[in-house]
Amino acid sequence: MGKGDIRTKRGKIRNNSYGATRPRKKKKVHKIEKNQEKDNK
């Protein structure tokens, strides 16, 4: 169990893979308020 074990998080990082142990990060969505949209125009 370690870098060579693909089922562990460290092993997935070393193998450049994702799965249940190492899920992908979700992208953040930037919300623009209505007041800021009017100021930019």
User: Comparing 39 with 1, which gets the higher pLDDT?
Assistant: 1
C-alpha to C-alpha distance for 27 and 10, rounded to whole angstroms: 22
Burial letters for 14-34: b for 16+ Cβ neighbours within 10 Å, e otherwise?
eeeeeeeeeeeeeeeeeeeee
Report d(CA 19, CA 2) in Å as an integer. 16
Is the pLDDT at 41 greater than 70, yes or no? no
pLDDT digits (tens, 9 = 90+) for 4-36: 999 999 999 999 999 999 999 988 888 877 766
Residue 31 and residue 28: Cα distance in Å, rounded? 9
Q: Residue 23's pLDDT is what?
A: 93
Whole-number pLDDT of residue 11? 94
Q: Is the pTM higher than 0.85?
A: no
Q: How far are the Cα atoms of 12, 20, 25, 39 from residue 15, in angstroms, in the given order? A: 5, 14, 17, 47
Domain-by-domain residue ranges, the chain?
A: 9-40
